[in-house]
Amino acid sequence: MIGIIDYGIGNLVSVEKALNKNGFTTVISDDISALDKCKGYILPGVGAFADGMKALHERNIIIFLEKIVADNKPLLGICLGMQLLFESGEEDGHNKGLGFLKGTVEKIRTGYKIPHMGWNNICIKKHSILLDGLNNNEDFYFVHSYQAYPDNSEYVIATCEYGQTIPAIVASNNVFGIQFHTEKSSDKGLIILNNFGKLVDKWY
């Protein structure tokens, strides 16, 4: 079972429907006892970094997320959920992140219109099971004004260009992050969520 973590911010039902369509069992919850039974987890999210961390604190989910990572269970962050995986974010002031990946989240440094909104192709930098069945330069749907600036280039699985190179997919051990919205990216997004489901099944 895949746990979709409910902290009041995110496209929870859309992610759940996409996974269910691929045959995976899911639960949407902020109840630690319910989530603890899952084998893998998704942290979705829309909105500001500060609001996301505040919501995780208020629902007492941060310690549970730390346990997930320490126990080597797969965790996938989507959009804001990916950004929260990093050490800090500069949206609405300097805010501490979850710190599972080293680096910061700062405004996109581009001459193009912000937010970065719409379809953009990604450039695959290294192999990942998340990208099985996909080709280089596939299009995905982005909506964000801030981006990750990883300390370690080895985290970066794929990038996109928007007057600036933006990490589109990152990973380190059992922690994965996707900047674009898989649940809004048509069949290609479904393939990635399906791949994450398969990854969870193979993890054990």
For 6-20, the pLDDT digits (tens) are 998 877 988 999 899
Measured CA to CA in angstroms, residue 74 lies from 95, 124, 128, 142, 143 at distances of: 25, 21, 14, 23, 24
Measured CA to CA, the distance from residue 99 to residue 85 in angstroms comes to 6
Q: Which residue among the candidates 16, 38, 79, 116 is catalytic per the annotation? A: 79
| Omega within 30 of 0 (cis) for the link into 115 | yes
Residues 93/54, Cβ–Cβ less than 8 Å: no
Q: What is the pLDDT of residue 92?
A: 87
Q: Which residue among the candidates 16, 91, 144, 183 is catalytic per the annotation? A: 183
Q: Which domain holds residue 179?
A: 2-203
Q: Is 101 helix (H, G, I), strand (E, B) or coil?
A: strand
Phi, psi dihedrals of residue 114, rounded to the nearest 5°: -115, 135
Q: Whole-structure pTM over 0.85, yes or no?
A: yes
Q: Which residue among the candidates 38, 116, 144, 181 is catalytic per the annotation? A: 181
Question: Catalytic annotation on 79?
Answer: yes
Question: Catalytic annotation on 183?
Answer: yes
Q: How confident is the model at residue 21 (pLDDT cuts 50, 70, 90)?
A: confident
Residue pLDDT, tens place only, 150-203? 999 999 999 999 999 999 999 999 999 999 999 999 999 999 999 999 999 989
Domain count, the chain: 1
Q: The domain spanning residue 141 has which CATH number?
A: 3.40.50.880
Determine how many CB atoms are found less than 10 A away from the CB of residue 161. 14
Q: How confident is the model at residue 77 (pLDDT cuts 50, 70, 90)?
A: very high
